[in-house]
Amino acid sequence: MARKWASAAVMLYLVIAAFMYWYIFNGADPQVPTVLKGTAADPATFLNARELMLSEKYSGIRNFLYFISTPYEWLFYFLILLVGLSRAIERWANSVSRWRVLQTAVYLFWLSLLSYIVLFPFNYIGYALGKSYNITTQTFTSWMKDEVIAFWINFGTMVVIVSVLYWLMKKSSKNWWLHAWLLSIPFTLFMMFVQPVLIDPLYNDFYPLKNKELEAKILEMANRADISAEHVYEVNMAEKTNSLNAYVTGIGSNSRIVLWDTTLNRLKDNEILFIMAHEMAHYVEKHIYFGMAAYLLLTFIGLWITARSMDYIVRCWGDVLKIPSVSSIGSLPLFLLITAVLLFASEPLSNSLSRYQETRADKYAIEMTGDSKAAVRTFQELTRSGLSQVNPPSLVKWFRYSHPTMLERISMVENYRPGTIGKSE
């Protein structure tokens, strides 16, 4: 039976890959709607023919890689159970020590290493693709350094999470998922608090904005928005990418607004001020906290479904999957498989909520700056620097876009009338 299941899983993966190839490169229509042709939202008005061609090719390949690498990871988790490799690693880990935490660490190290090796081709192709299209400027050595850092951070975090998770499974076979969810609340808050000061600096250097004149303008705008801020931070991304970005990170006293130096180098002051007003909107409208609440709600539902699914699968097919019990550490690939599928299935909903917040932030920025022309130029430059697809296929938008498409953002800015935010739309 295991061989039939493996063959069926591989065949299903190939069918998914073939469908996504057809859909992205042949089935979807990336053309701009007729009503928007010739407007500022039409990429033909601000990209030359070569940039248009490159943006379509680059975006298409990146989207295809995403839609085949995601089920590829699921396939890995499924096959490692079927062939008994997870069970073999568990037995070896158990023979190393009597301490359960050490057993978990040993098991996780080999599972993480194997997972990284299996998924490395997709990671490298993504890196090489960015280099070939001049999006990525990072050297291979620097990229591998970031990969190693990420591996050890993820490994250390997973040792803590998995050790607690499987301890709960042994202590409460029925309600472990509820206890795990309750513990995830302070853990999530802790990670969001330390992210800007402990984790992010491992990858890049952060420092207060060097352009003090621009910083004064930003802080004055923050004061008008009743945001207490002492510094705006910039980060040295030019050595890694040509893309532009700015973001809000952290919570409480560790919250901060961060600008990439590429953004500072490529955009004019009024365009940067629009970006800053957009980021300030996330503070003013408490988007971080609403997003965190939505995440915790989805985690609650996801853990409940995962617990019920694992009980059923192990009870019915535990012998085939080489899983003696749910609380056995060898069941971890099943846990990761189910949660990964659930996370993917929830993307359209979470992305939809995020796009709503981003639209609100765009409108807030127009209200604050009163400069819709700067907003349009900003979105156009973001499109050019990242070779973004202005009008992506629907499936790509649902599963990949946490922000509105550039077509939607530019069109909204052109048609938005200041003074209407907060009113029924």
**Residues 382, 244: contact at Cβ < 8 Å?**
yes
Burial 307-324 (b: 16+ CB within 10 A, else e): bebbeebbeebbeebbbe
Q: Is 362 one of the catalytic residues?
A: yes
Flag whether 403 is marked binding: no
Active-site annotation holder among 90, 234, 271, 279? 279
Q: What is the DSSP letter of 33?
A: P
**Quick one: which of 338, 311, 326 has its CA closest to 77?**
338
Other Cβ atoms within 10 Å of 282 Cβ, number: 22
Per DSSP bridges, beta strands 246-249 and 233-235 are unpaired
347 is in an annotated binding site: no
Q: What are phi and psi of 207, to 5 degrees?
A: -155, 155
Active site residue 220: no
Rounded CA gap, 423 and 119, in Å?
47
Structure tokens at 148: 């190693």
Mention every residue, 6+ apart, whose C-beta is less than 8 A from residue 315.
none
Three-point CA angle 79, 82, 83, nearest 5°:
90
147 labelled ligand-binding: no
Q: How far is the C-alpha of 404 from the C-alpha of 391, rounded, in Å?
A: 10
* Secondary structure (3-state) at 235: strand
Q: To which residue do tokens 């990439």 refer?
A: 260
90, 200, 234, 362: the active-site residue? 362
What is the distance, to the nearest Å, from the Cα of residue 118 to the centroid of all Cα atoms in its chain?
20
Task: Give the phi and the psi of residue 355 in degrees, each rounded to 5.
Answer: -65, -35
Tokens 């690498």 locate to 69
d(CA 296, CA 96): 36
Query: Is residue 422 left, alpha or beta, with left meaning phi > 0 and alpha meaning psi from -120 to 50?
Result: left
Residues 124/140, Cβ–Cβ less than 8 Å: no
Q: How far apart are CA 148 and CA 194, in angstroms?
A: 20
Instruction: Pick out the residues of the known binding site.
Output: 278, 282, 358
* Catalytic residue numbers, as ranges: 279, 362
* Known binding residues for Zn(2+): 278, 282, 358
